[in-house]
């Protein structure tokens, strides 16, 4: 599955592959590709909003209008009227530009580390992102079961139980599956111990 997102000049593309997800980030000529292991995915994403300060145009228009009003405040009434009109005009322009600014976007951080996997919560649609997150979770669980499921020849029962517990904490096993597999491991270990006593 592929998730493609775009916000202004920023583009994000995440591709689910066999053992990992590949994220590509592009913006204003910069291009970064990150491979994310399924083991590194967070159990639940962190939501945060990208912060935006006051746009430069708003500050410039507002500041210029205020400066013009101060410089002509002690002048004749005609200049004062002109300064007031100019200030009002610049203030309105700044207000319009402020309202035309890009809306704040809510992002989802799916991994930790130096190069975290981050996607927009609503691009292209919230439903598409929900479907992608569901597919990502299924791909992670499938990968973890294939690569971290208890092996037939265990080096130690404790290690296998710890591995099962880790799978459960990652959401790859339910509580019932964890208890069932743990009981099977402990049962086979007890049988081997009993057989060893009589040999």
65-118 pLDDT per residue, tens: 666 666 665 556 666 667 677 777 676 666 666 555 555 678 888 888 777 888
Whether 146 has a pLDDT exceeding 90, the answer reads no
Whole-angstrom distance, CA of residue 27 vs CA of residue 46: 23
Residue 78 domain-assigned (yes or no): yes
The number of residues making up the chain comes to: 199
CA separation (Å) from 50 to 9, 20, 44, 135, 141?
15, 26, 19, 25, 30
- Residue 85 is part of which domain span? 56-99
Strands 41-49, 30-37: pairing is unpaired
Domain count, the chain: 1
Residue 71 domain-assigned (yes or no): yes
Instruction: Round to the nearest angstrom and report the end-to-end CA distance of the chain.
Output: 55
User: What are the two backbone dihedrals, phi and then psi, of residue 26, each rounded to the nearest 5 degrees?
Assistant: -135, 135
Whether 171 has a pLDDT exceeding 80, the answer reads no
Helix axes of 126-148 and 157-169: crossing angle, nearest 10 degrees: 180
Residue 36 domain-assigned (yes or no): no
Helix (H) or strand (E) run with residue 75 in it: none
State if pTM tops 0.85.
Answer: no
């Amino acid at each position: 599955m592929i998730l493609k997102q775009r916000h202004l000049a920023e583009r994000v593309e995440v591709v689910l592959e066999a053992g990992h997800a590949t994220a590509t980030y592009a913006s204003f000529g910069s291009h970064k590709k990150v491979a994310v292991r399924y083991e590194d995915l967070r159990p639940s994403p962190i939501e945060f909003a990208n912060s935006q300060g006051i746009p430069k145009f708003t500050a410039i228009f507002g500041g210029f209008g205020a400066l013009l009003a101060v410089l002509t405040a002690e002048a004749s009434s005609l200049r004062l009227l002109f300064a007031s009109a100019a200030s009002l005009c610049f203030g309105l322009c700044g207000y319009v530009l402020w309202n035309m600014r890009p809306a704040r976007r809510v992002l989802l951080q799916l991994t930790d580390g130096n190069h975290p996997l981050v996607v927009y919560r609503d691009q292209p649609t919230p439903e598409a992102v929900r479907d992608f997150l569901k597919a990502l979770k299924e791909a992670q669980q499938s990968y973890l079961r294939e690569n971290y499921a208890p092996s037939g020849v265990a080096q130690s029962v404790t290690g296998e139980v710890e591995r099962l517990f880790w799978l459960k904490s990652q959401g790859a096993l339910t509580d019932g599956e964890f208890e069932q597999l743990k009981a099977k491991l402990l049962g086979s270990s007890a049988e081997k111990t009993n057989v060893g006593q009589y040999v």
